[in-house]
Amino acid sequence: MDFIFIEGMLVDAHVGIYPRERIASQPLEINMTFGVPDAAAERDDIADTISYDLVVDRIREVLAQRQFNLLETLGEFVVALMFEEFNAPWVRVSIAKPGVLRNVRRVGVYIERGRNGEGPPAAGAVQMGMPRS
């Protein structure tokens, strides 16, 4: 399986349970890695892969319209979106709120799922698309 990564996507979103988080949008940082068919590289055809610009546009569109209470729920939504709309076989996503706690760079979640319960790729196969420490 080949992978595409999107690193450091900055978006504004309504995510949170506190009144201040529900009133105004706040910045999020999203990192993703998702599997794509090997056929994309073999045939050199965009029709065989997942267009990362369409993924970014779709996520931005959803976040402009929806409110999520938890980052976990938003993460699961992104995974489901990748499976259902983009037919990705495997997805890892991290979503972080930068600077929401004093003396903490960011807090967030990461979720990793394979379609139909498939496990992740071999250990160590995918490192990009995740937050750096």
Cα distance between residue 69 and residue 109, in whole Å: 13
Q: Are 118 and 88 in contact (CB under 8 A)?
A: no
**Of 11, 124, 15, the residue nearest 74 (C-alpha):** 15
Pick the CATH number of 2-117 from 3.30.1130.10, 3.20.20.80, 3.30.930.10, 3.90.1150.200: 3.30.1130.10
pLDDT value of residue 127: 54
pTM of the predicted model, to two decimals?
A: 0.84
pLDDT for the residue 125: 52
Give the integer Cα–Cα distance in Å for 2 and 59: 22
Q: Determine the Cα–Cα distance for residues 81 and 87; give it in Å rounded to an integer.
A: 9
8 Å CB contact between 79 and 111:
yes
**pLDDT by residue for the chain (133 residues), tens digit each?**
889 999 999 999 999 888 887 888 899 999 999 999 878 778 888 888 999 999 999 999 999 999 999 999 999 999 999 999 999 999 999 999 988 788 888 899 999 999 887 666 664 555 544 554 4
